[in-house]
Structure 1
């Protein structure tokens, strides 16, 4: 049994909105990966207490959310990678921060994929771990793998993977 997908022959032009009133995704979006999580603690000193005695009873009640990595195609075919921190709120998700990861822009990278550490949606530790696959020359046959890591205190590292 096959899967049929009906696409309209004509649709909204770039810059217009869907029927919901929300803007459509830009055609420059190559990849989007949502992964990892963050949570602000009411008492940041609890992280510094190795005995756990400063940890309040009950679940943490500070703001929380997840991260999103977005690859945007540039006119020359290379890509910019943007990192967003998304807050989960009662009214819906909200972008807290959004920044271009200039390390990738300086490479003039042709991004071929972005993948989370795992695809089951379960992350045990706060932070982010994702792999960006890219080529610095479109004629390359092999891709390079770069990791984007955010630790539990929010420090960001971008490193080339080595085997």
Structure 2
């Protein structure tokens, strides 16, 4: 009898701890095939003119506050099997990550690519300079034997460059 009660209690604990999405939608769309978080960005917090005027009149030399975050490249499968590549800036806030900007990279959309992989410059997660460097592997013909490699580069000023990789 105690075994049955124990088994029922364990089953109840297991079911209570089941993921919330078991009843509904999964937390990540099934069309997302690759996601890479890499690099970092930072920029001064934009202050209102009143705050700037007060600082100037008070002669304060307080350093500007900075917004900081990282980049995400996302390949999302389209109904025809090709992919859209999205670039996001994720801001690190005290309440957790927040999307600061999100855009589709039209240079990839124009190619109608079949994305086979996305890789960061390094997998250590440590970069010393602001910006992003990642490689997107893609095929424009799904029957091609080898994918082409394209680099996505964002410099320290936020300038985005997408070009065929040269080895």
Q: TM-score w.r.t. structure 2 length?
A: 0.75
In the alignment, structure 1 segments of 5+ residues that lack a partner are 1-7, 18-23, 44-55
Cα distance in 2, alignment partners of residues 112 and 161 from structure 1: 15
Cα distance in 1, alignment partners of residues 80 and 128 from structure 2: 39
Count residues in correspondence: 135
- Match of 1:35? 38
Instruction: Give 1:34-113 correspondences, 5 Å limit.
Output: 34-41=37-44, 61-113=65-117
Q: Which of 28, 38, 42 in structure 2 is aligned with 1:25?
A: 28
What's the RMSD between the two structures over aligned residues?
2.4
Cα distance in 1, alignment partners of residues 22 and 127 from structure 2: 38
Q: State the shift of 1:42 in Å.
A: 6.2
Summarize deviations over 1:115-143 as a string: whole Å, max 9, x none: 00000010000000000000000000011
Cα 1:41/1:105, change in 2 over 3 Å = same
Cα distance in 1, alignment partners of residues 83 and 157 from structure 2: 28
Summarize deviations over 1:33-83 as a string: whole Å, max 9, x none: 00000011369xxxxxxxxxxxx898x731000000000000111000000
Off by >6 Å, runs of 4+ in structure 1: none
- Match of 1:158? 162
- Match of 1:53? none
Q: TM-score w.r.t. structure 1 length?
A: 0.76
Which has the larger helix fraction? 2
- Match of 1:123? 127
Summarize deviations over 1:72-112 as a string: whole Å, max 9, x none: 00011100000000000000000010000011111010000
Q: Which of 7, 11, 20 in structure 1 is aligned with 2:22?
A: 11
Q: State the shift of 1:162 in Å.
A: 1.8
Q: Which secondary structure state, in structure 2, belongs to the residue aligned with residue 26 of structure 1?
A: coil
* Alignment check: 8 A CA contact 2:45 2:67 kept: no
